Chain A
Amino acid sequence: MATNASTFVRQSMLEPKPAPSSQTGASHWIRTRLFATPKDVILTILALALIAYIVPGMINWLFIDAVWSGTDRTACATVIQGGVLPDGQSGACWAFVEAKFQQFMFGRYPADERWRPILVAILFIILLVPMLIPKAPFKGWNALALFIVLPIISFFLLIGGFGLPHVETPLWGGLMVTLILSFFGITVSLPLGIILALGRRSDMPVIKTICVVFIEVIRGIPLISVLFMASVMLPLFLPDGWTFDKLLRALIGVSLFASAYMAEVVRGGLQAIPKGQFEGADSLGLSYWQKMRLIVLPQAIKLVIPGIVNTFIGLFKDTSLVSIIGMFDLLGIVVLNQSDANWSTPVTPITGYVFAGFVFWLFCFGMSRYSAFMERHLDTGHRH
């Protein structure tokens, strides 16, 4: 009996059948993701119409009708405008960007000395890349080199000294200034922001009040007013004969502004740490700074990495405002070069903005992607 019955028992599992063809593949995807309901059909058609309206024209303008080489405005202007292009053609004038590329990168930094900013950039990349790779060793030394040693070396390399000719800061410009402002702002605003956030959560009323007033006033006013303050008020505050470099004033303004925002981000992280962590550290007999450095801040900072990077991105974009107080960062130098009579055509301004926009976008998008990667990497699963 038993052996007979067992002949009807299947010895191996059936292979799972593939899903019906209507549930997989491209046709299913199109049906559910593009044409699921009548409303979706209309939306998809509208979206396709929008794409068909914008994208070909954009590609045409950016690449096909664009002028890629030339020496002056005639290359990019139409016949009516005094150039060589047939009338009615309008495309980006990349020749303009090509001709001014050195300026867009270095401003009016003397041509013979441009190896200096390039050297700084190479050093910066060499130190930054291992810093960004989580598995790379010697993080402490790396940070020391990147945030302390490199700024000092770069300062002398860029401004001169030790036999190098002196290059005044008003000659600096372009992407170089944008990056210097952002790097300096980031390096200063993070520690300053942490100190302000700790001060704001402090039990000491005087320190707390000072921090709250500083943070709220700075956050309540626009960056331009801070920059104006730095450029018109700082000279008033100083004793006779003291002068402040314009770049330094902008650096101070940008860093103070960013640190107030950073303080609020860090405070958010501090508030998210359970009280037990503070009490646990206290009961172990740790001092205030030990408690913060070893227990609280590592957890708090990790929680708010997206916020910190967002502040960095905001800072990077905000550096463009220094062009309003008469400095030539990337945007400032692009705007300045548009008034060059040699290159004045109707398409020059837009080309310049597209180029500057693309460079800004590249950096900001890169930062936000890296932050998303870091968030996943550091996610130890303690999130509630």
Chain B
Amino acid sequence: MAGMALNSDTPTSRKKASSLINDPKARGIFYQVLTLALLVLFVWTVTQNTIHNLQRANIASGFGFLDGRAGFDIGQSMIAYSSDSTYGRALIVGILNTLQVAVIGIITASILGFLIGIARLSRNWLIAKLAEVYVEVFRNIPPLLVIFFWYKGVISALPQARESFELPFSSYLNNRGLFLPKPVFGDGTWLLALALVVGIIATVFMARWAKQRQMRTGQPFHTVLVGVALIFGLPILAFLALGAPLTFDYPVAGRFNLTGGTVVGPEFMSLYLALSFYTAAFIAEIVRAGIKAVPKGQTEAANALGVRGSDITRLIVLPQALRIIIPPLTSQYLNLTKNSSLAVAVGFADVMAVGGTMLNQTGQAVEIVAIWVVIYLSISVTTAIFMNWFNARMALVER
């Protein structure tokens, strides 16, 4: 005992030193400090170099340039814009254009993707094969090529303005784009918007009430029909009550070009069509996998209970398939949004193209890249939050 106590000093201290090296916690802290130091050193060097390079190139950093005159034109804009507007406004035009093509593209791609995904599972051999060919073709070629194909291959091969295709509702299609009648709203248009909002709110409450009633009494309610009637009926009633304050500005075929109406440019059309067709192939695969993952027993059990055919899909198969479909679908939506940056290749003024022009004019590389990153990250995060919320609503409620 005494000897041990006497000698205990040296071994323990040695043990302490060696155990510090072998202690996972101590080692972890060491590695982290090392990584952090390297990172700080790297960032510091990069910052120093950047500051030095910017000074040498005589570029003032900061976001002050956003107030300067842009001086370039934008073909398609949702808000008033001219070359005298500021860079900041040009950027907003770009953001709106990105969002526009992304939202419309997502809607089209979803519809197309769901149809093709279901077609791939069809018992009908021909339909299934056609859907498979579609998916295998579009999945395996770059989206940029699809955009070029539409832009230079199809749309610029359309006839010139004088020989435009005439479509229903006084629309025209030629190599300068799709010419549509432009709605001109008269007085009291805000009442229509109000009616629409009221209709949507009423539908939400009605759906809640109907679900509670069905839970309580088992009585189903025609939620969908009544909802459609509310959402569309109220604005239509308001529209009629106001005396139809809506006229159209029709495109008129002139000698060399069409005047009036509203134009969907070839850049937008090719980008939108390409993104929709390309993404639809991926959505189709996701939908197919989701539906296939629902066990056959579910359908058979529903059949055995005497549920009707359409109700089996709507109430049994689809809700279970959606659970599997939603997460990958979200990433496809985000991919579509990110791929909309390919607009730069055909010159559609999305946020990437506008930023690129600004970068060439002002040389504010750091600021503009930062703006890009912030914009795309916020779009991604917003979409992800919404889809996560939707996913949580759809997810299996377990005890």
Cβ-based interface call for A33 (8 A) = yes
Task: Check B49 against A360 for contact (C-beta < 8 Å).
Answer: no
Known: A222-B352, A350-B149, A353-B153. A233 touches B369 (CB 8 A): yes
Residues of A within 8 A of B (CB): 29, 32-34, 36, 40, 43-44, 47-48, 50-51, 203-207, 210, 217, 219-225, 228-229, 232-233, 235-240, 313, 317-318, 320-321, 323-324, 331, 335, 338, 346, 349-350, 353, 356-357, 360-361, 364-365, 368
Cβ-based interface call for B46 (8 A) = yes
Enumerate chain B residues within 8 angstroms of A50, measured Cβ to Cβ: 130
Task: Check A205 against B32 for contact (C-beta < 8 Å).
Answer: yes
Enumerate chain A residues within 8 angstroms of B342, measured Cβ to Cβ: 222, 224, 321, 324
* CB proximity of A188 to chain B, nearest CB, Å: 19
A365 to B132, CA, bound (A): 13
Query: Which 6 pairs, one residue from A and one from B, show the smallest C-beta to C-beta distance?
Result: A364-B140, A206-B32, A222-B341, A222-B338, A317-B142, A33-B125
Task: Check A365 against B365 for contact (C-beta < 8 Å).
Answer: no
Provide the main secondary structure of the chain B interface: helix
Known: A44-B127, A48-B126, A225-B369. A318 touches B53 (CB 8 A): no
Chain A's closest residue to B42 (CB) is A237
Task: Check A236 against B123 for contact (C-beta < 8 Å).
Answer: no
Residue of B139, B152, B338 near A221 (CB, 8 A) is: B338
Cβ-based interface call for B65 (8 A) = no
Task: Check A220 against B35 for contact (C-beta < 8 Å).
Answer: no
Could you list 17 A-B pairs, sorted by A, with CB under 8 Å? A40-B124, A43-B124, A210-B39, A220-B376, A221-B372, A225-B372, A228-B372, A237-B46, A323-B144, A324-B144, A346-B157, A350-B152, A361-B141, A364-B140, A364-B141, A365-B140, A368-B140
Task: Check A353 against B148 for contact (C-beta < 8 Å).
Answer: yes
Interface size class of B (residues with CB under 8 A): 35 or more
Enumerate chain B residues within 8 angstroms of A207, measured Cβ to Cβ: 31-32, 35
Task: Check A36 against B124 for contact (C-beta < 8 Å).
Answer: yes
A85 to B380, CA, bound (A): 52
Task: Check A233 against B365 for contact (C-beta < 8 Å).
Answer: yes
Chain B's closest residue to A366 (CB) is B140
Task: Check A220 against B142 for contact (C-beta < 8 Å).
Answer: no
Cβ-based interface call for B28 (8 A) = yes
Cβ-based interface call for B104 (8 A) = no
Task: Check A34 against B124 for contact (C-beta < 8 Å).
Answer: yes
Enumerate chain A residues within 8 angstroms of B157, measured Cβ to Cβ: 346, 350
Task: Check A318 against B123 for contact (C-beta < 8 Å).
Answer: no
Cβ-based interface call for B359 (8 A) = yes
A239 to B123, CA, bound (A): 64
Task: Check B142 against A320 for contact (C-beta < 8 Å).
Answer: yes
* CB proximity of A310 to chain B, nearest CB, Å: 9
A49 to B30, CA, bound (A): 70
Enumerate chain A residues within 8 angstroms of B394, measured Cβ to Cβ: none
Task: Check B341 against A43 for contact (C-beta < 8 Å).
Answer: no
Cβ-based interface call for B344 (8 A) = yes
Residue of A210, A220, A323, A361 near B140 (CB, 8 A) is: A361
Task: Check A221 against B366 for contact (C-beta < 8 Å).
Answer: no
Task: Check A233 against B149 for contact (C-beta < 8 Å).
Answer: no
Cβ-based interface call for B41 (8 A) = no
* CB proximity of A195 to chain B, nearest CB, Å: 12
Enumerate chain B residues within 8 angstroms of A368, measured Cβ to Cβ: 139-140
Q: Which residues of B in the span 93-152 have a Cβ within 8 Å of any Cβ on A?
A: 122-127, 130, 136-137, 139-145, 148-149, 152
Task: Check A206 against B35 for contact (C-beta < 8 Å).
Answer: yes
Enumerate chain B residues within 8 angstroms of A51, measured Cβ to Cβ: 130
Residue of B28, B31, B145 near A331 (CB, 8 A) is: B145
Residue of B32, B54, B127 near A236 (CB, 8 A) is: B54
Known: A221-B376, A353-B149. A47 touches B130 (CB 8 A): yes
Chain A's closest residue to B338 (CB) is A222
A321 to B343, CA, bound (A): 11
Enumerate chain A residues within 8 angstroms of B126, measured Cβ to Cβ: 34, 43-44, 47-48
Enumerate chain A residues within 8 angstroms of B344, measured Cβ to Cβ: 224, 324
* CB proximity of B41 to chain A, nearest CB, Å: 14
* CB proximity of B332 to chain A, nearest CB, Å: 12
A364 to B345, CA, bound (A): 22
